[in-house]
Amino acid sequence: MKVVLLPGDGIGAEVVAEAGKALAAVAPDVETSEHPIGLEAIARDGEALPAATLAACEESDGVLLGAVGAGDYSWSASNPEDGMFALRRALDVYANLRPFRAGAIDLVIVRELVGGLYFGERGTRADGTVFDTCEYRPDEVDRVLRRGFELARRRRGRLTSVDKANVLATSRLWRERATALAADYPDVELDHLLVDTAAMRLVEAPESFDVIVTENTFGDILSDVAAALAGGLGVAASASLGDAGPGLFEPVHGTAPDIAGRGVANPTAAIRSVAMLLEHGLDRPAEAARLDAALNRVAAGLRTPDQGGNATTAELGDAVVAALGADARQELADA
C-alpha cells in the first residue's frame, strides 16, 4: 500500500511530520512518499499542483494533505489554494466527511467538495463587475446526498439537508433531490434546514444533529462553526472520498500563519486524518481504531497551546507513537 504525504504550507509540514510518524508506527508496511503542493510547489515549479505530485497521488492508495494557503488574497496566476482545488477535483473526491465529537456533540458534516460556488464560472465583465456562479447538475447533487443517507443509516439514522431554498435555484434542486432520494432510505429520517437556521441551531443545540449534508461553501462555513464547538481546528479531521481511486485526507484546515514555524501547532487533526485514511482509504479499521484510541489517551494528558497546555507538536506526536508501542506490548502480554 502506498500513501502520498503532501505537507503544503504554514503548519502543514509540522503536523504532517507527526502524522507520518504515527502512520509508520501503526502500519509499518505502508510505503510513503512526500511531494510538494501549494507555495513550495509554486516556488519550485511555478505551479501549485505539479504534474508529478498529481501523478503520485493518482497512483497511490490514499493522500494525506497538511494545509495550503499564503494568507494573501491578492490575485495571482497561481494561488496555493488552486493546487488543492485541482487535486480535489482531479481525484473527484466529492464527499468530504468532517466528524465532530466532544461531550454530547457527535455529528458529521458531509460537504460537497468538487462543485458549487467554488467551481462555478467566475470572471470580470468589461464594466468591472466581478462574478462567481453556483451550479449543480442533478447527478452531482444525488451522489453526495446518497453518501449522506448511507452514513446516516450507519449512525443514528438522521439526515439534515442544509440549503438556502428560499433564495437559490441550486438549493431548490438540492431540496427536491433530497426529498426524492429519501424514498430509497426509509430507515433514515430526513429534514431540511436553511443554512442560516442551521448555523444558529449548530451553536444552540449541536447535540441535536447526526449527519448534515450540504453544498460546498455552506459546508466550509458550517464546519468551522462545528469545529469551534468541538475543540477547534487543531483537532478537526476530514476524509474526502469519491467513488473509486484514492481518497484525500486532511485537517479541516488552516495553515495558521500566526504560529507556523514555532513547533506548537496541534497535530491531532492530522493524526486523526491518518486514522480516517486507515479506515476509509486503506480499509484497515483495526489500525484506525488503535490509532484513535492512542490519540484519545494522549490528548487526555498532553495539550498543545490551542488546548490550553504547553506541549509541542513533536511531543504530542512522539507521545502517540509511544502509546501505540505500549498498546502493542500490552496486547502481546495479554495474548
Binding site for ligand IPM (CB under 6 A): 69, 81, 220, 252-253
- Output the smallest distance, CB 254 to Mg ion, in A: 8
The answer to whether the CB of 162 falls within 8 A of the CB of 222 is: yes
Task: Read off the C-alpha cell for 81.
Answer: 489554494
Q: Give the H/E segment covering residue 237.
A: strand 237-241
Between CA 80 and CA 70 the distance in angstroms is 7
- 215 lies in the binding site for Mg ion (CB under 5 A): no
Q: Which span sits near Mg ion by CB under 5 A: 15-23, 172-180, 217-225, 279-287?
A: 217-225
The answer to whether the CB of 83 falls within 8 A of the CB of 37 is: yes
Biggest CA-to-CA distance, the chain: 75
| CB nearer to ligand IPM: pick between 70 and 102 | 70
| CB nearer to ligand IPM: pick between 19 and 27 | 19
Q: Which span sits near Mg ion by CB under 5 A: 185-193, 233-241, 245-253, 256-264?
A: 245-253
Active-site annotation, residues = 118, 164, 196, 220, 224
Residue 9's φ and ψ, nearest 5 degrees, are -110, 170
- 220 lies in the binding site for Mg ion (CB under 5 A): yes
Q: Which does 69 bind (CB under 5 to 8 A by kind): Mg ion, ligand IPM, none?
A: ligand IPM
Torsion of CA 88, 176, 150, 158, to 10 degrees: 120
Q: Which does 81 bind (CB under 5 to 8 A by kind): ligand IPM, Mg ion, none?
A: ligand IPM
| CB nearer to ligand IPM: pick between 83 and 315 | 83
Please tell me the count of residues contacting Mg ion according to CB under 5 A.
2
Between CA 233 and CA 204 the distance in angstroms is 20
- Output the smallest distance, CB 29 to ligand IPM, in A: 30
Distances (CA, A) of 187 to 111, 154, 160, 191, 271: 22, 10, 14, 13, 33
Q: Which span sits near Mg ion by CB under 5 A: 111-119, 136-144, 219-227, 237-245?
A: 219-227
| CB nearer to Mg ion: pick between 220 and 287 | 220
Distances (CA, A) of 167 to 121, 157, 171, 213: 20, 28, 8, 18
Question: Of 152, 172, 268, whose CA–CA distance to 215 is shortest?
Answer: 172
- Output the smallest distance, CB 129 to ligand IPM, in A: 24
What single-letter DSSP state applies at residue 162? E
Distances (CA, A) of 99 to 44, 84, 123, 160, 312: 35, 21, 34, 14, 25
| CB nearer to ligand IPM: pick between 253 and 272 | 253
Give residue number: closest CB to Mg ion: 220
Give me the residues paired with residue 96 across strands. Answer: 111, 240
- Output the smallest distance, CB 111 to Mg ion, in A: 9
Residue 215's φ and ψ, nearest 5 degrees, are -60, 160
- Output the smallest distance, CB 86 to ligand IPM, in A: 12
| CB nearer to ligand IPM: pick between 253 and 284 | 253
Q: Which does 280 bind (CB under 5 to 8 A by kind): Mg ion, ligand IPM, none?
A: none
Question: Of 188, 184, 135, whose CA–CA distance to 161 is shortest?
Answer: 188
- Output the smallest distance, CB 223 to ligand IPM, in A: 6
The contact pattern for Mg ion, residues 246-265, with x = CB under 5 A and - = no contact, is -------x------------
Which residues contribute to the site for Mg ion (CB under 5 A)? 220, 253
